[in-house]
Structure 1
Amino acid sequence: MINPSKIEEIARQIGSNMPQGMRDIAENFENKTKQVLQNKLAEMDFVSREEFDIQSQVLVRTREKLTALEEKVAALEAMLAAQAKDADSE
């Protein structure tokens, strides 16, 4: 397998041996590309990993509360059904 540091060294050597005009064009292209990518990524409205993790935790707690509420509603419905059955049998 090729050593990544060796690839970087070769790329630096090639870059340093390029004529100055070519280096300027390459640097300008790289800067413009970075700028365009940063602008487009900013427009995409991504969330940070931290914000994602926080929202995931909120979702877990919300699901737990929902499950507990569903169990309570089911118990109350069963109790009401039992009371209605008792009232009907009287």
Structure 2
Amino acid sequence: MLSPKQLDEMARRVSEHLPGGLREFQQEIEKNTRTAMQSAFSRMELVTREEFDAQAKVLARTRARLEGLEQRVAELEARLNAEEGSGGEQPTAE
């Protein structure tokens, strides 16, 4: 999310580009612009770069673990199929 200082700066820039007749309402326009931008940004559910990077790292670790587990399952299935094919004992249902 943007800091209040960043929102103030953006609102100030918008108000600076207003025609001369509207500049007398500059403070009110800055306040309304800041409020409108803050509302719009909160509805977008934005995250900071730090939050994004942290979640990207979590996702990378999770993906690596999933790939390891998939490989392990494939090895266990291959071993089970090899045992079944060689006439190994089959588990009995009781």
- With the length of structure 2 as denominator, give the TM-score of the two structures: 0.64
- How far apart in 2 are the matches of 1:51 and 1:23? 38
- How far apart in 2 are the matches of 1:71 and 1:60? 17
Per-residue deviation, residues 29-76 of structure 1 (Å, max 9, x unmatched)? 232112111112112211111111111000000110011001100100
What is the aligned length?
Answer: 71
Q: Give aligned-pair identity as a percent.
A: 39
Task: Give the structure with higher Rg (CA).
Answer: 1
Per-residue deviation, residues 5-45 of structure 1 (Å, max 9, x unmatched)? xxxxxx7xxxxxx68xx432233223211211111211221
**Runs of at least 4 residues of structure 1 off by over 2 A?**
none
Q: One-letter code of the match for 2:57?
A: Q
| Partner-residue secondary structure (3-state), 1:87 | coil
Coordinate RMSD, CA, aligned: 2.2
Greater Cα shift, 70-79 or 44-53: 44-53
- How far apart in 2 are the matches of 1:39 and 1:24? 25
- Is 1:29 aligned with 2:16? no
- With the length of structure 1 as denominator, give the TM-score of the two structures: 0.67
